[in-house]
Structure 1
Amino acid sequence: MTNDHQRLVSVETQSEYNLTSGKSETRIFVKMYVDAVKKGLIADIGPERWQTLCVLSSFMNADGECYPTQEQIAGALNVSRETANRRIKSLCGYRWQDRPLVIKKQGREGKSQRWENARYTILPISQLAIFDGDTEEL
């Protein structure tokens, strides 16, 4: 675990209960530190992969794991499912300091051989952490 000032980006959530509607609302905040730009990650990754990484991180837990559907990713990006798939593929193929930021795992379901929902892990090298998740020092 690194200190907060050593992180380049953090993801935080805030839940709020609306007394009028009786519904809870969760907000997600991505906080970027100046060093994120100075160290080159944001400039290097490009706008589409950065946006895709931020959207994917909005689904992650404290261990960096996320399980959104293709439709959820597409909806959050406001793009078609095909475009979302292309962006995820580009993000998973991207390397920062010769290492992946995101790993995608997908297998086949038992006898039916249908594809399971993809499972993504956002790695500590990405400098994205939610709650008190680990990041790597750069």
Structure 2
Amino acid sequence: MSTRDGAGRTIDDTETELLDAMRESDLVALDRLISDQLTFIGPDGAVLTKQADLEAHRTGATSFETIDVLSRDATETDEEGRTKTVANAVLRAAEGTVSVRLTWHREWRVLDGRWQVVAGAVEALADHSG
């Protein structure tokens, strides 16, 4: 049985909502979906906070052209869960676009009545072509 938050969303629903917000750099949605206590490890090993993540989307330092999900696993216990999403992504960068396969690992908790990312990491698996 899936745990639903106060809005009736499952962890899987919320992962989809987060990916959509990342594609659009939707700061309002990202702010709602990410815990203030977020600790996130980037592909280079740098530790990011919620504020740093939102700022990267605001300035365009993090900008996705596409995120095409290849697989997703979600596991949960009472009001906690984990997702693993593998996707081919195209990121916009100053030097053009970069295609890469990414794996996101996220830890979720129901906080203030809604699923929020509290920790996670992303790793680049391999470059890929279109």
Which of the five TM-score ranges fits, normalised by the shorter chain? 0.3 to 0.5
Normalising to structure 2: TM-score of the pair?
0.32
With a CA cutoff of 8 Å and minimum separation of 6, indicate the structure with the bigger relative contact order: 1
Normalising to structure 1: TM-score of the pair?
0.31
Q: Greater helix percent: which structure?
A: 1
Q: Greater strand percent: which structure?
A: 2
Bigger radius of gyration, 1 or 2? 1
